[in-house]
Amino acid sequence: MPNLKDLKNRIGSVKNTRKITKAMQMVAAAKLRRAQDAAEASRPYTERFNAVMAGLAASVGSSDSAPKLLSGTGSDQVQLLVVMTSERGLCGGFNSSIVKTARSKAQELVAQGKTVKILTVGKKGREQLKRDLGDLFIGHVDLAEVKSVGYVNAQDIARDLLNRFDAGEFDVATIFYSRFQSVISQIPTVQQVIPASFEAEEDAGETTLYDYEPDEEAILADLLPRGVATQIFAALLENGASEQGARMSAMDNATRNAGEMIDKLTIEYNRSRQAVITNELIEIISGAEAL
């Protein structure tokens, strides 16, 4: 049974930990507001951009003149997985859920006889994947020094992917990130970015015909590289909001758990202190009776 000094030191230590987790929760809440606003503001543009691109892609079809970013290489043998996680921990299962999804996909592709390559964005995902998939790494994007993720960061990642694609290093590129839904809900998402894959709008009841100048192939050749950067930027924003939401929830749970532990330790401390006082009284009474 620990003595009173040990219990008192432990209570003080847990109280200090609770102060830290409470402060981190408040910081995450402040950052979440900005990150959530940025992620939600990007969704209408991304959805509309994808809708326009879907219409252009449908009009071009699989013709020989279709850009390579749309038609692909004609093979899916070499798969590039872009795993996007955070640079910092203490955010619950945010990173683990993305890594788990990516690891499952990689194992599935390897079982099918595909060649898998991995590009990591964020230190935490790299640390978790290098244990069993480190030999598949081909690159890493470090955003630790970036205070606020911007479109320029997405452009750099997209430029790297496009250069690798033009060099024939892979056939299909897929990004893994977490889509923000709420503070307690972040959805691991898998999205193919190369070759471009667009889904038509579900509520598109009427078909509108457009005349394009220049032609669809020329427009797609110009917009498809921007589309890759747009999708990556949207994923980075969703990841940022998801990270702060997960951290806020994790720190809230840690703060409450620390409070419960303090209550239990306080009860144990009071009981031990009462036992010590009782023993001292018994010794005094026994000594007085002996006299």
For residue 92, count other CB atoms closer than 10 A to its CB. Answer: 20
pLDDT of residue 181: 86
Give the residue extent of every domain in the chain: 4-20+253-290, 25-251
- Please give the pLDDT value at position 1: 55
Q: Can you give the pLDDT at residue 63? A: 58
Check residue 80 and give its pLDDT. Answer: 92
User: Burial letters for 205-226: b for 16+ Cβ neighbours within 10 Å, e otherwise?
Assistant: eeeeeeeeeeebbebbbebbbe
Q: From CA 227, how far away is CA 232, in angstroms rounded?
A: 9
C-alpha span between 217 and 86 (Å, rounded):
37
Please state, as a whole number, how many other Cβ atoms lie within 10 Å of the Cβ of residue 60. Answer: 18
Q: Which tokens hold the place of 239? A: 């990841």
What is the third-level CATH fold of 4-20+253-290?
Answer: Helix Hairpins (1.10.287)
CA dist., res. 184 & res. 179, Å (int) = 12
Pinpoint the alpha helices (H) of 91-179: 94-111, 123-133, 151-166
28, 39, 56, 91: the catalytic one is 91
Q: Is 91 assigned a catalytic role?
A: yes
- Put the strands of the sheet holding 78-84 in their side by side order: 137-141, 115-121, 78-84, 172-182, 185-194
For the CA atoms of 65, 68, 70, 74, the dihedral, rounded to the nearest 10 degrees, stands at 100
What is the residue-level pLDDT of the chain in tens, covering all 291 positions? 568 888 888 899 999 999 999 999 899 998 888 888 888 888 888 888 878 777 777 776 655 667 777 777 888 899 999 999 988 888 888 889 999 999 999 999 999 999 999 999 989 888 888 888 888 898 888 887 877 888 888 888 999 899 999 888 888 999 999 999 888 888 899 988 888 876 655 554 445 556 666 666 777 777 888 888 888 999 999 988 999 999 998 999 999 999 999 999 899 888 888 887 888 777 788 777 776
**Count of Cβ atoms closer than 10 Å to residue 257 Cβ:** 14
> Does a cis peptide bond (omega within 30 degrees of 0) precede residue 195?
yes
Other CB atoms closer than 10 Å to residue 33's CB: what's the count? 11
User: Model-level pTM greater than 0.95?
Assistant: no
Annotation: CATH topology of 25-251: Pyruvate Kinase; Chain: A, domain 1 (3.40.1380)
